[in-house]
Amino acid sequence: MSATLTEKYPNYSPGLEGVIAGISTISEIDSDRSSLQYRGYDVHDLAEHGSFEETAYLLIYGKLPTTAELASFKAVLSAEREVPSQVYDVLRALPKDTHPMDAIRSAFSTLAPFDPDYEAPSTDDAANVRKAVRIIAKAGTMVANGHRIRNGLEPIKPNPAHDTAENFLYLMTGQEPPAKTVQVMDASLTLYAEHGFNASTFACRVTVATLSDLYSGIVTGIGTLRGPLHGGANEEAMKMLLDIGTPDKAQAWIDDALEGKKKIMGFGHREYKKRDSRAIYLTKVAKELGIEKGDTRFGEIADILEKTMEERKNIHPNVDFPAAYAYYLLGIPIDLYTPIFVIARVSGWSAHALEQLRNNRLIRPKCIYEGAANLDYVALENR
């Protein structure tokens, strides 16, 4: 059907594929080179040598921080991690089987009116930056404590000495996390932080382009990420790995899946012709984590799947594949994988919202009408 429509309407691109919808200085995806850069810096360098806090600062302020700037930024994040008790009241009121993505969406909606800059105009750039920092600070707290609440546990206060990754892991378990787990979580947050005009980012920009507030843009982003065609791939990839179970079953499983033309979760990406650059470093640290924990089965399964997919389909893993078993080895429930995506991506969404509002124009594309025309109105009694 789409081929017929595109022949009929040469300017029509289903899903807006290939359509340039804006100009940005935030990130660049180079499909041919399998490269992703945040404001000119390779994500590998940021993930391996930097931190999520440095990355968030880079995205929000447009440059890497100095030592003093990073210390000040971390201090603000630490001071802003706690959330109003009313947010927890709302999370307690939700049904216990509420999906965590619905919970974090509700949490951000509840949080918005408590922001000290809530009444500031949408065009107040300084207020928007302050909001963005608070959003980044509180996301992990709300996801982790939301998980505690749904399990009948009381929320824990964040430890001011913790950075974002460590804070999340601490709140999840109530225990100080080992250094390696913090490294893996921090790397995943850095790699998930930003990725161009993807569906949730574009939806966020559309929302704030109406001069709606930053929180509305974040809630829009979460609602868009909630859909399985955008978020959730890491969850499905982990279910696939658990279905395979052990390395000795992996080859037969992938052979059968390819024979039956099943979709192999965690492989391929619309933006990359070759390899998803984010997957390279995360695969490395995820396998290191498995060795440290004495559980290498998922890394071994991954090796078999990756080799087979490359040889037979020339398709490589995307970032969701190593993230899946990395999070599993960290003891994180599978339905929290996409909310972790939110913890990272609020930095990218906020950066795009700020960029949109600084040079704003209402986003209003056209559509092609193919419905009926010139119908005669029929009185109600004659229908």
DSSP E strands, 39-128: 41-42
- pLDDT score of 257 more than 90: yes
Residue 271: predicted pLDDT: 67
Q: How many CB atoms lie within 10 A of CB 79?
A: 13
Average pLDDT over residues 119-137: 97
Residue 324: predicted pLDDT: 94
Average pLDDT over residues 362-367: 93
- pLDDT score of 32 more than 80: no
- What SS3 state is found at 379? coil
Average pLDDT over residues 23-41: 89
Gap between the Cα atoms of 200 and 196, Å rounded? 10
Q: Which residues are catalytic?
A: 269, 320
* CA Rg value for the chain: 22
The answer to whether residues 280 and 44 touch, using CB atoms and an 8 Å cutoff, is yes
- pLDDT score of 2 more than 70: no
Tens digit of pLDDT for each residue in 258-271? 999 998 988 877 66
Confidence (pTM): 0.93
The answer to whether residues 211 and 123 touch, using CB atoms and an 8 Å cutoff, is yes
Average pLDDT over residues 309-318: 91
How many percent of the chain have pLDDT more than 90? 83
Sequential DSSP letters for 168-237 = HHHHHHSSPPPHHHHHHHHHHHHHHS--SS-HHHHHHHHHHHTT--HHHHHHHHHHHHTSTTTS-HHHHH
Query: What residue ranges define each of the domains in the chain, with the CATH number in brackets?
Result: 43-177+192-228+336-358 (1.10.580.10), 233-329 (1.10.230.10)
Residue 22: predicted pLDDT: 92
Confidence of residue 274 (pLDDT cuts 50, 70, 90): confident
Strand partners, 35: 30
Confidence of residue 14 (pLDDT cuts 50, 70, 90): confident
Average pLDDT over residues 86-112: 97
Gap between the Cα atoms of 325 and 348, Å rounded? 24
